[in-house]
């Protein structure tokens, strides 16, 4: 995917490899995405960095106290996450932004290993149905029965037998944000709720949610 570049990035050297997760190793909240964007994290080498999805995500993470700054443009921009870890069900940019079942199976052991290392986790926020289904598959692989398969819906929540809270959100893709399917107030509510479930103090600087 790094061989096909947008004219705006023609002079950029693309990362073009599996994109690693990043964040606070002591995180209580995990944000689980779909896969690297072809001209975003596949270019910059950091999750949700350098594309429209990240431009929507990071200002909300900053406002809710999870990110040190509202902009993410490169892996060297000084971004720090506090109490939060960002990963994805697939770590390589898939064709047409849609990972195949085979790609998801190949990346599954990485998610399983990550989850075993993130020992402070209390909340998983799944961005989009692919991430939601991918996390449910992980739960089944490690023997955690989520009961009757929960349906994906924005704002849906359930608790796994080990006490981990799982939340669902629409993905902050341009397709969702430009059409109003996902608004900033909706997304703020998700991460304010995640802080509460994780037992993290709410930010005093949060602005009142605007009526959209």
pLDDT band at 210 (very low <50, low <70, confident <90, very high): very low
Indicate if the alpha-carbon torsion angle 65, 69, 73, 78 is positive or negative. Answer: negative
| Tens-digit pLDDT profile for residues 95-140 | 777 888 899 999 999 999 999 999 999 999 999 999 999 999 999 9
**Number of neighbouring beta carbons within 10 Å of residue 164:** 18
Residue 109 makes CB contacts below 8 A (sequence gap 6+) with: none
Give the chain's end-to-end CA distance (angstroms, integer): 37
- According to CATH, the topology of domain 14-198 is Uracil-DNA Glycosylase, subunit E (3.40.470)
Rounded to two decimals, the pTM is 0.89
Give the pLDDT band of residue 212 (cuts 50, 70, 90).
very low
Q: Two tokens at 99?
A: 């990972």
């Amino acid at each position: 995917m790094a061989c096909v570049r947008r004219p705006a990035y023609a002079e950029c050297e693309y990362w073009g490899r599996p994109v690693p997760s990043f964040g606070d190793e002591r995180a209580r909240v995990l944000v689980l995405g779909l896969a690297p964007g072809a001209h975003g994290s596949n270019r910059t080498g950091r999750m949700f960095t350098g594309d429209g999805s990240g431009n929507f995500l990071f200002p909300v993470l900053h406002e809710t106290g999870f990110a040190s700054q509202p902009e993410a443009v490169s892996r060297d921009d000084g971004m720090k996450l506090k109490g939060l870890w960002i990963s994805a069900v697939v770590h390589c940019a898939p064709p047409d932004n849609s990972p195949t079942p085979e790609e998801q199976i190949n990346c599954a052991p990485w998610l399983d290993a990550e989850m075993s290392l993130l020992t402070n986790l209390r909340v998983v926020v799944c961005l989009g149905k692919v991430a939601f289904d991918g996390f449910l598959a992980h739960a089944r692989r490690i023997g955690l029965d989520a009961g009757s398969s929960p349906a994906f819906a924005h704002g849906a929540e359930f608790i796994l037998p080990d006490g981990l809270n799982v939340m669902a959100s629409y993905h902050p893709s341009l397709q969702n944000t430009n059409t109003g399917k996902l608004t900033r107030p909706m997304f703020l509510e998700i991460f304010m709720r995640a802080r509460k479930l994780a037992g993290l103090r709410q930010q005093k600087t949060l602005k009142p949610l605007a009526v959209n």
